[in-house]
């Protein structure tokens, strides 16, 4: 139930959806002659849109997340395993057309492939089921098996976790698989902005993992200011940042992590 509530909440809470909702509230308030509500709703919608589209706020918020965890020092002899969190494949498109179409987070699997070639004895645990509301698509763990095979990684090196739909389930389901396979001190590969939330959840389960962030979206030099040059990119950065900060807050309030912003 928590999964579905979070999905529905995010449909409304992301910046562009929130702006639309505020505009609809303002429209109905105007029809009912509630002029004060109409004015405040319209102003709020305009403010959210302006900050989202025409400032660097999203980049700054995302940059703080990306800078939280640096890549860990590799163990002597290399890692015994590599945990890769899903989110890197366009599941809906791949289910319909085949192939390996990637999202912006596809770097997670490119980096895992590089590590797998550099450390040929390391096991690869891919955690990712179908995170859609419909549950009608192949998850990343299923697609990843074909992806790695296409680049010569033998199937016996892979451990697939196909049931998880969000980061909390990634951590919980991975815990069981690590124990059953006798694996520990693994690298954790995920997007840099996603690493604080992931590390917090893994640590709460008592799992020692070494952060290996990838898929950076900011330069590390962003500062707060106006930016009229790339409204669509600003919107994407803001949406991703708000989702991650909201996820951190939810996990903290729900008692899933001991720290709001793990470090």
Is residue 240 in some structural domain? yes
Helices 15-31 and 35-54 cross at an angle (nearest 10°) of 160
What region, left, alpha or beta, does residue 138 occupy, with left being phi > 0 and alpha being psi -120 to 50 degrees? beta
Work out the average pLDDT over 105-133: 93
Residues of the chain with pLDDT > 90, as a percent, come to: 87
Model confidence pLDDT, tens digit, residues 59-83: 999 999 999 999 999 988 899 999 9
- Per the structure, the count of domains in the chain is 2
| Averaged pLDDT score across all residues of the chain | 94
Please list, in sequence order, all residues whose beta carbon lies within 8 angstroms of the beta carbon of residue 216, skipping any fewer than 6 positions away: 66, 192
Residue 92 and residue 193 in one domain:
yes
Question: Tell me, what's the pLDDT at 1?
Answer: 67
Instruction: Tell me what percent of the residues of the chain surpass a pLDDT of 70.
Output: 99
pLDDT of residue 230: 95
- Residue of 109, 124, 141, 140 lying closest to 181 (CA atoms): 124
For residue range 3-61, list pLDDT tens digits in order: 778 778 878 889 999 999 999 999 999 999 999 999 999 999 999 999 999 999 999 99
pLDDT for 3: 73
Question: Which of residues 192 and 185 earns the better pLDDT score?
Answer: 192
* The predicted structure's pLDDT at residue 207: 93
Q: pLDDT at position 136, please?
A: 79
Across 2-6, 123-127, 218-222, 224-228, least confident range? 2-6
141 & 190 share domain: yes
Let me know if residue 73 belongs to a domain.
Answer: no
Backbone angles phi, psi at 190, to 5 degrees: -160, 175
Q: At what angle do helices 195-204 and 167-181 cross, to 10 degrees?
A: 50
Shared domain for 94 and 137, answered yes or no, is yes
Same domain, 27 and 147: no
Q: Are residues 125 and 195 in the same domain?
A: yes
Do 197 and 96 share a domain, yes or no?
yes
**DSSP letter (8 states) at residue 47:** H
As a whole number of angstroms, the distance between CA 262 and CA 34 comes to: 44
Helix (H, G, I), strand (E, B) or coil at 57: helix
Are residues 26 and 106 located together in one domain of the fold? no
Does any domain span residue 74? no
Q: Residue 174: which domain range?
A: 81-214
On whether both 87 and 204 belong to a single domain, the answer is yes
Assess if residue 262 is contained within a domain. Answer: no
- pLDDT at site 33: 92
List strand residue ranges (DSSP E) for the chain, in order.
81-85, 123-127, 158-161, 186-191, 209-214
Helix (H, G, I), strand (E, B) or coil at 157: helix
Task: Indicate whether 107 and 149 sit together in one domain.
Answer: yes
Q: Is residue 207 part of a domain?
A: yes
Q: Is residue 223 part of a domain?
A: no
In a domain, residue 134? The reply is yes
Q: Using the predicted structure, report yes or no on whether residue 133 has a pLDDT greater than 80.
A: no
In a domain, 261, yes or no: no
The contacts of residue 160 (CB under 8 Å, 6+ apart) are: 125, 126, 141, 142, 144, 145
CATH assignment at residue 85: 3.40.50.620
Let me know whether 97 and 154 are in one domain: yes
Pull the structure tokens for residue 209: 């993992």
Residues 113 and 207 in one domain: yes
Claim to verify: residue 115 and residue 150 sit in the same structural domain: yes
- Report the distance separating Cα 223 and Cα 125, nearest Å: 37
Contacts of the segment 3-9: beta carbons below 8 A, 24+ positions apart: 3/165, 3/166, 3/169, 4/133, 6/166, 6/250, 7/133
pLDDT at 51: 97
């Amino acid at each position: 139930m928590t999964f579905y509530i979070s999905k529905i909440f995010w449909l409304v809470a992301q910046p562009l959806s929130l702006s639309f909702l505020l505009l609809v509230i303002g429209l109905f308030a105007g029809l009912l002659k509630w002029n004060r509500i109409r004015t405040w709703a319209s102003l709020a919608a305009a403010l959210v849109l302006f900050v989202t589209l025409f400032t660097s706020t999203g980049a700054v918020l995302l940059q703080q997340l990306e800078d939280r965890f640096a890549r860990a020092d590799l163990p002597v002899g290399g890692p015994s395993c590599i945990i890769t969190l899903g989110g890197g494949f366009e599941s809906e498109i791949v289910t319909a057309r085949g192939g390996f179409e990637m999202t912006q987070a596809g770097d997670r699997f490119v980096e895992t492939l590089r590590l797998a070639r550099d450390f040929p004895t390391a096991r690869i645990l891919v955690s990712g089921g179908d995170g859609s509301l419909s549950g009608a698509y192949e998850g990343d763990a299923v697609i990843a098996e074909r992806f790695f095979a296409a680049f010569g990684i033998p199937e016996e090196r892979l451990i697939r976790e196909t049931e998880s739909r969000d980061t909390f389930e990634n951590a919980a389901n991975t815990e069981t698989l690590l124990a059953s396979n006798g694996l520990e001190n693994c690298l954790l590969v995920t997007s840099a902005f996603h690493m604080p939330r992931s590390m917090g959840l893994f640590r709460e389960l008592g799992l020692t993992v070494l952060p290996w962030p990838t898929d950076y979206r900011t330069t590390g030099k962003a500062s707060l200011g106006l930016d009229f040059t790339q409204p669509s990119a600003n919107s994407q950065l803001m949406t991703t940042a708000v989702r991650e900060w909201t996820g951190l807050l939810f996990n903290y309030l729900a008692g899933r992590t001991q720290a709001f912003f793990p470090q």
